[in-house]
Amino acid sequence: MNRINQERLIRHFIELVKIDSESGNEKQIAQTLAAQLSEIGFEVRQLAVPADVSNGFNLYARLQGTLPESILLSCHMDTVNPGKEIQPQIIDGVISSKGDTILGGDDKSGIAAIMEAVRCLLADNQAHKTIELAFTVYEEGGLRGSQHFDMSCIESKQAIVLDSGGPIGTIITVAPGQQSLKINISGKPAHAGLAPEEGVNALTVASDAISQMKLSRIDHETTANIGFVKGGGATNIVMPDLYLEAEARSLDDQKLQAQVDHMVGLFERTAVKHGAAVEIESCRSYNAYCIAENDPLVSSVKAAFTANDVEPLPRSTGGGSDANIFNEKGLKTVNLSTGMAKVHTTDEYITVADMTSITEFLYTYLSS
C-alpha cells in the first residue's frame, strides 16, 4: 500500500475547513489554495468569474508529468451554510464539526486528498501523469463556478471530480439532468371578510394544480419537487400573489422534458380555470450524463481501486455535480466518493480512514 502522510493530510483538511467559504464568499480559500499549489510546484492561474457569482475566482493549476497521460482533477471550494466559524473535532477517527455548523468535507476532503497525493508523489520522486486541477466556486446551489470555468485552459480529455458520498470505490457514471421552475401566480385581492367572492386566491390556484401533479419519486429515473413557497401578507386579504420554486430531475432527457411539461401545463391550465395569471421561468440547470462501465476512463479508475484492494462500485446518482457541467462541455468526467457522509447537515462527518483511502487511490491512479 502506498505510504500517505496521514497526519499532514488531516492537518491540511482541518486548516481548509476552518476557512469560511460559503457559496459566493470563496476569495480567502481561493487565495490560500493558489499560494499552496504554487509552493507545491503547480503552474497556477486565477480565472475570473462574474461578480454576482463570487468575490473569489476559479482556480486552474497544472503540473507536468513524465507519464504519457493527462488527467484533470476537480473539486469545489465553496460550502453550504451554516459554514462560518467551523470548529472541527476528531473523535475515534471520525472528523465532524462541534454540531452548530456543517463540516465542509463537501468538498474540501477532495481538495486535501488531491494535494496530499501530489505531495507524496513528489516526495517519492514517483513518475506521474500530467495533472491538471479545476477548483471551482459556487458549486452548491447551481454549479455556477463550473458553468463559468474557462475550458480553454484544459488540455486533458478526461476528468475526475471528487465530490460524492458513499463507500470509497464509488464511481458515479450516471447522473441526472435538472430543470428548475420559478412560478409566479397572480390572482386578485379582495377583503376576506366583506367580499371574498370578488377575489381570486393565488394559493387556491396553486393547491388545485399541485393536487393533480405527479411529484416526489416519479419512476426509477425521475423525481420532482416543490421546495419553496412564498405569498400573502394578511389574513383579511384574499391572497393576490404566490411565488413557488420547483425542480424536476431525470436520468433520461425525454422523461425530464415530459415531467416539466406536465408541471407547467397544470399550472397554466389551472390559472385559466380560476381566472388568474401565471408566469413560469423554466431553466435547464444541467444535463444528464451516462458513461459506460467499460469506458477506458472508468476502467482505469477501477484498476487503481482494485490495486489498492478497494472494490470498485460504479453507480448512478440522483444529484448533480460539476461532473455534469464538464461532461456537457465535452470533457468526459466521472465523480468519485471521498467518504463524506450526511453532507449539508450539521451532522456531517468523514473518517480519517476514508480520507486516507481516497488519497492512496489518487497516488496509485496518478502514478499508473
Task: Check residue 19 and give its pLDDT.
Answer: 98
Band of pLDDT at residue 232, cut at 50, 70 and 90: very high
pLDDT at 69 over 70: yes
Task: Check residue 60 and give its pLDDT.
Answer: 98
pLDDT at 318 over 70: yes
Task: Check residue 3 and give its pLDDT.
Answer: 78
Q: Say how far apart CA 218 and CA 31 lie, in whole Å.
A: 43
Band of pLDDT at residue 314, cut at 50, 70 and 90: very high
Task: Check residue 356 and give its pLDDT.
Answer: 98
H or E stretch at 245: strand 241-250
Band of pLDDT at residue 141, cut at 50, 70 and 90: confident
Q: CB–CB of 120/365 below 8 Å?
A: no
**What does pTM read for this prediction?**
0.93
The pLDDT of 252-271, averaged and rounded, is 97
Which domains are assigned to the chain?
Answer: 6-175+288-366 (3.40.630.10), 177-286 (3.30.70.360)
pLDDT at 209 over 80: yes
The proportion of the chain whose per-residue pLDDT surpasses 70, expressed as a percent, equals 99
Task: Check residue 199 and give its pLDDT.
Answer: 97
The pLDDT of 223-234, averaged and rounded, is 97
Q: Kindly compute the dihedral angle of the four CA atoms of residues 354, 355, 358, 363, in this order, to the nearest 10 degrees.
A: -140
Mean pLDDT of all residues belonging to the chain: 97
pLDDT at 317 over 80: yes
Q: Say how far apart CA 46 and CA 182 lie, in whole Å.
A: 33
What would the pLDDT profile of 262-310 be if each residue is shown by its tens digit?
999 999 999 999 999 999 999 999 999 999 999 999 999 999 999 999 9
Q: Is residue 101 classed as helix, strand or coil in its secondary structure?
A: coil
Q: Say how far apart CA 156 and CA 265 lie, in whole Å.
A: 43
Catalytic residue flag (residue 78): yes
Looking at the chain, how many residues does it have?
A: 368
The pLDDT of 344-359, averaged and rounded, is 98
The pLDDT of 204-211, averaged and rounded, is 98
The pLDDT of 335-346, averaged and rounded, is 98
Q: Which residues pair with 282 in a beta bridge?
A: 181
The pLDDT of 319-338, averaged and rounded, is 97
Task: Check residue 226 and give its pLDDT.
Answer: 98
Catalytic residue flag (residue 52): no
Q: Which of 132, 139, 348, 360 is flagged as catalytic?
A: 139
* Residue 305 φ/ψ region, left for φ over 0, alpha for ψ in the -120 to 50 degree band, beta for the rest: alpha
Task: Check residue 122 and give its pLDDT.
Answer: 97
Task: Check residue 254 and give its pLDDT.
Answer: 94
Task: Check residue 225 and give its pLDDT.
Answer: 98
Task: Check residue 2 and give its pLDDT.
Answer: 55
pLDDT at 26 over 90: yes
pLDDT at 119 over 80: yes
Band of pLDDT at residue 113, cut at 50, 70 and 90: very high
What would the pLDDT profile of 152-203 be if each residue is shown by its tens digit?
999 999 999 999 999 999 999 999 999 999 999 999 999 999 999 999 999 9
Q: Which of 26, 78, 116, 360 is flagged as catalytic?
A: 78
Q: CB–CB of 173/302 below 8 Å?
A: no
Going by C-beta distance under 8 Å and a sequence separation of 6 or more, which residues neighbour residue 142?
A: 285
Task: Check residue 193 and give its pLDDT.
Answer: 96
